[in-house]
Chains A and B, each alone.
Chain A
Amino acid sequence: MTSARRPSPILRNLTAKAASVPMIVTALVIFVGGSAWTIVYSFTDSKLLPRLNYVGLEQYRRLWVTPRWLVAIENLAIFGVLSLVFSLVIGFLLAALLDRKIRFENTFRTIFLYPYALSFIITGLAWQWILDPDHGIQSVVRGLGWTSFAFDPLYNPAIVIYGVLIAGLWQGTGLVMCLMLAGLRSIDDDIWKAARVDGIPTWKTYVFIVIPMMRPVFVTTLVLISSGIVRVYDLIVAQTSGGPGIASEVPAKYVYDYMFRAQNLGQGFAGSTMMLLTVGIVIVPWAYIHYGRKRHG
Chain B
Amino acid sequence: MADSALLDSTAVSGVRLRRFAGARGPRPRRALSRRNVFIYGTLVVVALYYLLPLYVMIVTSLKGMPEIRLGNIFSPPLEVTFEPWVRAWSTVCTGLNCEGLSRGFWNSVRITVPSVVLSIAIASVNGYVLALWRFKGADTFFTILVVGAFIPYQVMIYPIVIVLREVGLYGSRTGLIVVHSIFGMPILSLLFRNYFSSIPEELFKAGRVDGAGFWGIYFRIMLPMALPIFAVAIILQVTGIWNDFLFGVIYTKPDSYPMTVQLNNIVNATQGVKEYNVNMAATLLTGLVPLVVYLASGKLFVRGIAAGAVKG
Contact = CB atoms under 8 A, between A and B. Distances in A.
Nearest to A173: B50
A238 B265 CA distance: 9
Q: Is the interface of B mostly helix, strand, loop or mixed?
A: helix
A5 interface: no
Interface residues of B, number: 98
A100 B5 contact: yes
A38 B152 contact: no
B263 A125 contact: yes
Nearest to A216: B312
Contact of B283 (A23, A126, A272): A126
Given A126-B57, A268-B158, A271-B154, A13 B135 contact: yes
Contacts of B128: 19
B288 to A, nearest CB: 10
Nearest to B47: A111
Contact of A119 (B50, B122, B287): B287
Nearest to A195: B7
A30 B1 CA distance: 47
A202 to B, nearest CB: 4
B43 A108 contact: yes
Contact of A23 (B27, B126, B301): B126
Contacts of A221: 309
A112 interface: yes
A170 B72 CA distance: 22
Nearest to B181: A22
Nearest to B4: A192
Interface in B259-312: 260, 263-264, 267-268, 276, 279-280, 283, 286-287, 290-291, 293-295, 298, 301-302, 305-306, 308-310, 312
A143 interface: yes
Contacts, number: 286
Interface stretch (B84-92, B93-101, B136-144, B203-211): B136-144
Contacts of A135: 68-69, 72-73, 276
Contact of A275 (B2, B52, B155): B155
A34 interface: yes
B223 to A, nearest CB: 14
A110 B3 contact: no
Interface stretch (A55-63, A80-88, A154-162, A224-232): A224-232
A175 B304 CA distance: 11
B222 interface: no
Contacts of A111: 47, 50-51
B43 A34 contact: no
Interface string B117-154: 00000100110110001011010011011011011111
Contacts of A100: 4-5, 8, 39
A203 to B, nearest CB: 7
A52 interface: no
Interface in A235-258: 237-238, 241, 251-252, 255-256
A164 interface: no
A234 B53 contact: no
A121 B189 contact: no
A17 B148 CA distance: 21
Contacts of B244: 119
Question: Which of A97, A241, A268 has its CB near the most chain B CB atoms (within 10 A)?
Answer: A97
Given A122-B283, A220-B312, A227-B150, A178 B305 contact: yes
A115 to B, nearest CB: 7
A129 B4 CA distance: 43
Nearest to B31: A103
B309 A220 contact: yes
A-B complex: 3 closest residue pairs judged by Cβ atoms: A119-B243, A31-B148, A117-B294
Interface of A: 9, 12-13, 15-17, 19-20, 22-24, 26-35, 37-39, 50, 94, 97-98, 100-102, 106, 108-123, 125-130, 132, 135-136, 139-140, 143, 170, 174-175, 178-179, 182-183, 189, 192-193, 195-196, 199, 201-203, 205, 217, 220-221, 223-224, 227, 230-231, 233-234, 237-238, 241, 251-252, 255-256, 259-260, 265, 268-269, 271-273, 275-276, 279, 283, 287, 290
Given A97-B42, A126-B56, 9 more contacts: A23-B145, A37-B159, A50-B162, A119-B245, A125-B267, A125-B283, A132-B73, A192-B4, A220-B312
28 contacts: A15-B214, A22-B126, A23-B185, A26-B182, A30-B156, A30-B160, A30-B163, A34-B155, A38-B159, A39-B155, A100-B39, A101-B4, A117-B239, A119-B245, A120-B245, A125-B267, A126-B283, A129-B57, A130-B53, A139-B72, A143-B72, A178-B306, A182-B306, A182-B310, A259-B157, A265-B158, A268-B158, A275-B155
